Structure 1
Amino acid sequence: MTASSSLPPADARRRPPAAAALPFGKPERGPRERLYTIIFEADTRAGRLFDLSLIAAIVLSVTVVVLTSVAPVAARWGRELVALEWFFTGLFSVEYAARLYCVKRPLRYARSFFGVIDLLAIVPTYIGLVFPGAHVLIDVRILRLLRMFRILKLTSYVHEYGMLGRALVASRRKILIFLSVVMMVVFLLGTVMYAVEGPEHGFTSIPTAVYWAISTVTTVGFGDLTPKTDLGRAVASLMMLLGWGILAVPTGIISAEMTAQRGLGMPTTRTCSECLSEGHEAGADYCKHCGAALPPYIYD
């Protein structure tokens, strides 16, 4: 019987929850609690409508940024694109302020990954307004590129993004070991190619040969370096065949973790009123982190 469906022992309930399980804090009542439910919880009609509206705004704002970089479009519709950019900047500014307002720990949210992304989505436009001569020190295009961080805001609203993220985190050690083995392979084979081909065939140093080995194993093959000797071509052929097997390994690791994630059941935005942890299953009676009784699951 799991902790999410039965009451754990008293000593387990007295233990403080893990720090990673503590989110930004949900207010217990009042307008802040209602606003938190709409913004951070998508199990209600208002929450789903908010998420879908924000997804549409993100996609449209990124489209505006892309169109601004097209010279003919910017020459004809420049003023309209600027007006739309300020509209979306104001919209995302209000959203960012609302998020900070409705959480108990606004500073923690501001320093979180999505808090930083929310800030990067709006700050470039304001920097260009406050420092109109910024192009003297920095190319304005860099500020425009920063606005593309808005596309990362989409990961907050699609469940599959979270599933992929959890699968990557769960398999991080396996992927790290795999990458370390690949680095050893390309380093050794690159050194072999340096010894076989030599500077006269373009392999002027071991780092250059390792660069060629990486582009060959990953099946990219830029073509700027090619082996000229028979032995070098034999080593290159081995590396090309090895590349097919190397590409299959991380795919299998991540696929296995995503299959395991599906078996865990669909998490919700249900929040424990004691430790403020989120993601409890719809049918759970007690918190899986602190053991406190969970409030009724509200959805429509």
Structure 2
Amino acid sequence: MRLSVVAQPRRYAFSFFGVVDLLAVLPTYVSLMVTGSQYLIVIRAVRILRTFRVLKMTRYVGEADLLWGTLVKARRKIFIFISTILTLVLIFGALMYLVEGPENGFTSIPRAMYWAVVTMTTVGFGDITPHTTLGQILTSLIMLVGYSIIAVPTGIFAAELAAGIRDARQHSACPACNLQAHEVDAKFCRRCGESLAGPMQPSTADEHAGQQ
């Protein structure tokens, strides 16, 4: 049915989503003709892949470029932050492995690092808990560290986003009244109504007047 309504049926039939549609409906007809092939109906789950077409809407949203640019600008800071967190997780995990030991559930350093991640992010599953006094003191320290750094990536992204919006507005100064701080997608000045693209050239203005 879809092939009968698309503009280019052949192109759609061999496209990715065309193959997805084929795999989604083919098991139904095969199960009617071949006995015992009802299990092929699970292949219809590939239709879920069509939901990713929603991501194509991002190209119509101008703010998506601003958000992506913000992530690119903050990539070094985010990388340093993640590296610091991984280092702390390794240190705290190794310390808890030495303090608590296998008898209290910390059977290895990787498992202790898992506990450090759960504790530092304030999730606290409770599957591994410290039993010694020193381990509980160290756990309290990890919780305080987790609370203090949990807002760092949000602050980094917010600062870069604010800087990106400010830069975009500064580049949209009105050529007539020199008013700045326009919206990113503004085309005309909000004070005098002049085009933010700049005044028309004399030849363009004469041609425009002649057409009128």
**Class of the TM-score when normalised by the shorter of the 2 chains:** 0.5 to 0.7
How does the TM-score come out when normalised to structure 2?
Answer: 0.64
2:27–2:43 contact (8 Å) kept in structure 1: no
Q: 1:159 to 1:191 in 2, by over 3 A?
A: same
- Is 1:164 aligned with 2:67? yes
Give 5+ residue unaligned stretches, structure 2: 31-36, 170-183, 187-194, 200-212
How does the TM-score come out when normalised to structure 1?
Answer: 0.47
Which residue identity does 2:136 align to in structure 1?
R
Distance 1:177 1:135 in 2: 52
Q: 1:123 to 1:260 in 2, by over 3 A?
A: farther
- Is 1:224 aligned with 2:120? no
Number of matched residues?
A: 164
Distance 2:97 2:127 in 1: 15
Distance 1:239 1:170 in 2: 30
Q: 1:126 to 1:190 in 2, by over 3 A?
A: same
Task: After superposition, give the CA deviation of every residue in 1:222-255 in whole Å (9 maximum; x if it has no partner).
Answer: 1111111111111111111111121111111101
Distance 2:4 2:82 in 1: 43
- Listed as ranges, the matches of 1:1-300 within 5 Å are 123-129=19-25, 139-140=42-43, 142-263=45-166, 264-265=168-169, 266=184, 283=197
Q: 1:141 to 1:201 in 2, by over 3 A?
A: farther
Q: 1:256 to 1:130 in 2, by over 3 A?
A: same
Give 5+ residue unaligned stretches, structure 1: 1-85, 101-118, 269-280, 286-300
1:267: how far off? 5.5
Q: RMSD over aligned Cα, in angstroms?
A: 3.4
Q: What percentage of aligned pairs have identical amino acids?
A: 44
Distance 1:231 1:209 in 2: 15
1:144: how far off? 3.6
Distance 2:125 2:67 in 1: 30
Q: 1:202 to 1:163 in 2, by over 3 A?
A: same
1:143: how far off? 1.2
Task: After superposition, give the CA deviation of every residue in 1:192-249 in whole Å (9 maximum; x if it has no partner).
Answer: 1111111111111111110111111111121111111111111111111111121111
1:121–1:149 contact (8 Å) kept in structure 2: no
2:97–2:108 contact (8 Å) kept in structure 1: yes
Task: After superposition, give the CA deviation of every residue in 1:107-155 in whole Å (9 maximum; x if it has no partner).
Answer: xxxxxxxxxxxx7666532332356679868953651432332332332
Q: 1:214 to 1:262 in 2, by over 3 A?
A: same
